[in-house]
Chains A and B, each alone.
Chain A
């Protein structure tokens, strides 16, 4: 599965109450917030981001459908929050 990397000095956390994900971009210094619309059915366990992020990670953490995950990933790539390998 395709893995997406974050620019150096970036941070990404899946918040402990499953409310969503916060990403600090080492590229732009902006913080992006991604809301989880179904916090009851998702997991706050998140992989080590140094290994990259997969679509499945986002689906699990944000309760996304595959299509919404694809759209989100495209947006994050266009905003240079994610880099493709």
Chain B
């Protein structure tokens, strides 16, 4: 059994596959080993005795619930991270959860809601390893009253070509082993901060919402978004917007009306970095 402390949420993991414990150790071993309450009890188990030997498959469980179909054992580490995301997204009703990356500099948070394939994780990993604080690669956890975003201690999930790119840019970063041929392609996680750095982070005010889109043929192009377009898109990217009802509407309205709103197309992360620092962080 292992405790995975992500800061906001604590997971208790049991796994039939020892290799997963090794991956967890490499990504989370610097978290404090205390006896705090557990938010989610999760497990990775073989569904049947036969599936331990013939085309072995594992299932992710949160208590007695299994949200995914069984997957090949080689994907166990990736399934664990996806399962942890599912636990948070399916059970957090007190704060607004937006499917986005969150990067912070000088106490100012920028959220990056994006569809798969937009380059969000590559951008997050590169900037997170270049001086920005990564509050999340996957979801913004937002207090509905203050609209401050809280940090989550998780690695960044990289896919396919971005794994080699980030390895090339940041050869000293710590990567998990690559899970091949998952439903998202090849997947690996990269650690972008350590617990000591994480423990100094405070909830941060959102100053901008940037919708990124990687476009290999396009130099950095910046579009200012209207509040209506941004409201529409941001509410559709929120996991629990409908569950929160009027509270969710009020929170998104507050974020939209107090933030700079952009859509960017880019093919060079350093240009994006300059834009974010010069035009938003200031």
B232 located at the interface, meaning its Cβ lies under 8 Å from any Cβ of chain A in the complex: yes
Closest-by-CB residue of B relative to A21 is B228
Binary CB contact string for chain A from 10 to 49 against chain B (1 if under 8 A, 0 otherwise): 1101011101111010100101010110010000000000
Q: Contact: B228 with A33, CB < 8 Å?
A: yes
The reply to whether B257 and A31 contact each other, CB–CB distance below 8 Å, is no
Q: Spell out A's residues near B (CB within 8 Å).
A: 9-11, 13, 15-17, 19-22, 24, 26, 29, 31, 33, 35-36, 39
Q: Does more than half of chain B's interface fall in helix, strand or loop, or is it mixed?
A: helix
Q: How many residues of B contact A (CB 8 A)?
A: 16
Chain B residues with CB below 8 A from A15, complex form = 226-228, 231, 256-257
Determine the chain B residues whose CB is within 8 A of the CB of A9 once the complex forms. 245-246
For A8, give the chain B residue with the smallest CB separation: B246
Cβ–Cβ < 8 Å partners of A24 in chain B: 245-246, 249
What are 7 A-B pairs with beta-carbon distances under 8 A? A9-B246, A13-B253, A15-B226, A15-B256, A20-B228, A22-B228, A26-B245
Q: State in angstroms the CA–CA spacing of A34 and B195 once bound together.
A: 45
Q: Are A29 and B245 in contact (CB under 8 A)?
A: yes
The answer on a CB contact under 8 Å between A16 and B246 is: no
Say yes or no for B43: interface residue by CB 8 A criterion.
no
Q: Are B235 and A31 in contact (CB under 8 A)?
A: yes
Q: In the assembly, what is the distance between CA of A11 and CA of B254, in Å?
A: 13
Closest CB of chain A to B193's CB: distance in Å? 35
